[in-house]
Amino acid sequence: MAQLGPTGVSADALRVTDGRTGKNYELPIVDGAIRALDLRQIKVADDDFGLMAYDPAFQNTASCQSAITFIDGDRGILRYRGYPIQELAGTKSFLEVSYLLQNGELPSAEQAQAWNAEIINHTFIHENIKRFIDGFHHDAHPMGILVSTVAALSTFYPEAKQIRDPAIRHRQIVRLIAKMPTLAAFAYRHAMGLYYAYPDDDLSYVGNFLNMMWRATQLKYQPNPVLEHALDTLLVLHADHEQNCSTSTMRLVGSSEADPYSAMAAACAALYGPLHGGANEQVLRMLQTIGRAEDIPDYIRRVKAGELRLMGFGHRVYKNFDPRAQLIKQIANEVFEVTGPSPLLDIALEVERIALEDEYFISHKLYPNVDFYSGIIYLAMGIPMEMFPVLFAIGRTPGWLAHWEESLLDPDQKIGRPRQLYLGEPERHVRA
Ligand code: SDX
């Protein structure tokens, strides 16, 4: 017998009265939510479709149940499989965190070694993909190349369509995590007119990425360990973020049982948008536009007038602070020890100081997000702005794939197909 609440209604239900009919309904509350389908029983007539919930941009809609990442936007909490991001960033490698997201537990030393070897063994891409990349214009945006080459990978691994086979799923997950840095570096090398520096399996996951980005005439590239660790930590901080735009896209495309390469190409495309993963590149362009500290007040004035957005500020979920932004700020200091100070950092720090004291940003709950400082670090490492969202995509790959597989295995899930409120023309007829 369900426990009764103060009004005599069962404590784990929502009681509603339909004003149109006077009828009462009890909608069960489970895990802090009602099932939207339970609204459909609320009708004005037997042939009525029933009520729907209207929620543009899904601002208050749980599209799934998930055990991967937990965010508390008001308290600035971010946990991967229950571990606070502060305990993972800087102490666990990106590949260890990728294993955690995928499998639900941190790997043992043996599991980490086997996982690392498996990934490193799949870093090469088919030679034809090089020719595919060669077909792009010299100034093609690397995100456009990445979206295309991730989709192209689906044509090289037709077995990936067998999404219900665990071993085949695992192999594609390994291939995608392994090949993203190679696709990213090759896109950069194409833009620079440089030869494609092949993967070096003696290096770490991030060391190998830096090798493929920067190797010149040296036979063996030796990554700077401080920059290698900083970049690995940045990838950890980007690894997952529950139902963000690109991850929701991965889940939705995956729900049609498309292969994971096609689903991830769609996720990359969603990430490319300047309101999402493209923001880190836009932050740098904004800081360069501002140019001097004395010009910040005028830029802030234009933002408050609604002319511009302060890129790298604000978040749909975090309304106090983005814990990742705080951790990235700490990494900046380590990197600048090696690369030298960045004049843009001074401007960014001043923008943050002014914004955090300004009533507009306080009342709108706008704080620096993950994108505000990451670009300054990448630039200091010599990575061009266009590559910033590409780095975000490398980092988010394990998160996308973990959600893709979780969704496929969720008995509650089926092909995603939202409804709409039709406000168009009633039936009408073409005049003879
Ligand atoms: C990421 O979802 C995720 O988890 C994303 C992400 C991840 O890890 O996957 O965290 C990564 O995408 C971080 C966000 C990067 N984007 C930016 O930095 C772009 C700038 N920020 C925004 O455009 C905006 O803040 C969003 C897109 C991040 C969030 O937008 P919301 O929640 O839809 O809020 P909104 O656009 O409805 O804005 C609410 C109000 C508006 O003012 P009013 O019309 O109510 O007066 O806040 C204002 C907006 O104008 N506002 C801003 C602002 N962001 C919101 N005003 C100035 N500058 C901004 N950056």
- Domains of the chain, residue spans: 13-53, 64-411
What is the reported pLDDT for 321? 87
371 is catalytic: yes
Identify whether 276 is a catalytic site residue: yes
C-alpha 58/C-alpha 247 separation (Å) is 13
Fold of 64-411: Citrate Synthase; domain 1 (1.10.580)
pLDDT by residue for the chain (432 residues), tens digit each? 567 766 666 789 999 999 999 999 999 999 999 999 999 999 999 999 999 999 999 999 999 999 999 999 999 999 999 999 999 999 999 999 999 999 999 999 999 999 999 999 999 999 999 999 999 999 999 999 999 999 999 999 999 999 999 999 999 999 999 999 999 999 999 999 999 999 999 999 999 999 999 999 999 999 999 999 999 999 999 999 999 999 999 999 999 999 999 999 999 999 999 999 988 999 999 999 999 999 999 999 999 999 999 999 999 989 888 999 989 988 988 999 999 988 888 999 999 999 889 999 999 999 999 899 899 999 999 999 999 999 999 999 999 999 999 999 999 999 999 999 999 999 999 998
Q: By the 8 A CB rule, do 265 and 271 touch?
A: no
Q: Which residues are near ligand 1 (CB < 6 Å)? A: 241, 244, 275-276, 279, 303, 309-316, 364, 366, 369-371
Ligand 1 centroid vs 206 CA: distance in angstroms?
A: 30
- Cα 315 to middle of ligand 1, angstroms: 5
Of 276, 358, 364, 410, the active-site residue reads 276
How many C-alpha atoms does 216 have within 13 Å on its Cβ side?
A: 0
- 241 is an active site residue: no
Q: Tell me the whole-structure pTM to 2 decimals.
A: 0.94
Tokens of 343: 């004049």
**Nearest-5° angle of CA 232, CA 237, CA 242?**
140
CA–CA distance, 163 with 167 (Å, rounded to integer):
9
Residues in the chain: 432
Cα separations in angstroms, 381 against 119, 210, 367: 25, 10, 25
What is the number of the ligand 1 atom nearest to the C-alpha of 276? 12
Note the pLDDT of residue 319.
Answer: 87
CA distance 13 to 33: 10
- Tell me, in angstroms, the distance from the centre of ligand 1 to residue 322's CA: 12
Q: Of all atoms in ligand 1, which is nearest to the CA of residue 303?
A: 57
Cα gap 370→271, rounded to integer Å = 13
Q: Rounded to an integer, what distance in angstroms lies between the CA atom of residue 362 and that of residue 413?
A: 39
Amino acid 7: pLDDT:
66
Catalytic-labelled residue, pool 259, 315, 322, 403: 315
Decide: 205 and 95 in contact? Cβ < 8 Å.
yes
Q: Quick one: pLDDT at residue 2?
A: 60
